[in-house]
Amino acid sequence: MPVVHVVGNGTALHYQESGAPDNPTIVFAHPLIWSGDSFGELLTGLTDKFHVVTVDIHGHGLSGYREAMTLEEMTEDFYHLLQSLHVPKVSWFGYSIGGMIGMRLALAHPDILDSLVLVATTAGPDPSTIKAATFHLWKMFRDGHRKDIVDSAMKFFFADRTYRERPELVAKCRGEFVGIKDAHGMFAAALAAFNRLDIGSKIGGIKASTLVIAAREDPAATPALADFIAAQIPNARLEIIEGASHLVGIEKPLEITTLVREFLGASSRIN
């Protein structure tokens, strides 16, 4: 398995590649808890036109982590990984925390990005009411009480329609959530997102072509927050997907694949 060790701190970052290497590169950075493997249907829809690089966020999969990390430090780690791939500019597909990293990457290292896709993500901190509730749940998650919180978590991740029409999908993800062996690394990454700085006043400086995608029923990365991001970034495009929540990439993979292919076809080298 390919792993890059970050110069300076030694953190191991794991990634996987699919699609032809001579195609334009799109880097997929997954949300907390759910690895890139959970988004197979979405990613498979891109490999015919793209060289797809799926990275493991710190503390997930085979990637290492540090006990005290900031999103800015994680961003620099991924910049090092992108440099090690020796590819031209990439499209960064950032999902939730992956989108938080993507916006910071676009600001700090605009030279590396051809375009930016932001899914179910935010530019500012969580409201204090949400932070108080979620921090307690994250500690329970870290300490092994995943069965105790899984049903509450699934309500956060999936839309009502998904519960009604695709109970097998909810059950599958429920099993994956409960089956996580060690959540300490995930908790470290979650803390970085939990304590993130507000960059809402800065994202107007992003130069990369940007597509912002939100799910109608997402309680965290709401359509209103996505609209704010799209309004700040020059010429950004906003799309709202109906009948989905925070795991829109699993609930609606075909819709997202279509949006991404159309967006990159118009803004990059894709024919």
Per-residue pLDDT, 271: 37
Strand 90-95 and strand 209-215: the pairing is: unpaired
Per-residue pLDDT, 270: 40
At 184, the pLDDT band (50, 70, 90 cuts) reads very high
- Do 158 and 252 meet the contact criterion of CB atoms below 8 Å apart? no
CATH of domain 3-267: 3.40.50.1820
- SS3 for 112-151 is HEEEEEEECCCCCCCCHHHHHHHHHHHHHHHCCCHHHHHH
- Average pLDDT value for residue range 221-239: 97
In sequence order, what DSSP letters do the residues of 166-212 get, joined into one string?
-HHHHHHHHHHHHT-S--HHHHHHHHHHHT----TTTGGG--SEEEE
Distances (CA, A) of 113 to 37, 91, 186, 259: 24, 6, 26, 19
pLDDT digits (tens, 9 = 90+) for 115-134: 999 999 999 998 777 787 78
CA gap 199, 229 in Å, rounded: 10
- Do 208 and 110 meet the contact criterion of CB atoms below 8 Å apart? yes
> From edge to edge, which strands make up the β-sheet containing 51-55?
3-5, 12-18, 51-55, 25-29, 90-95, 113-119, 209-215, 237-241
What percentage of residues in the chain have a pLDDT greater than 90? 88
pTM: 0.95
Q: What is the overall mean pLDDT for the chain?
A: 94
Where in the chain are the domains? 3-267
Distances (CA, A) of 128 to 124, 125, 132, 135: 12, 9, 6, 10
pLDDT digits (tens, 9 = 90+) for 24-79: 999 999 999 999 889 999 999 999 999 999 999 999 999 999 999 999 999 999 99
At 199, the pLDDT band (50, 70, 90 cuts) reads very high
Beta-bridged to residue 18, according to DSSP, are 52
For tokens 């997929």, name the residue.
28
| 219 pLDDT higher than 80 | yes
CA gap 52, 221 in Å, rounded: 25
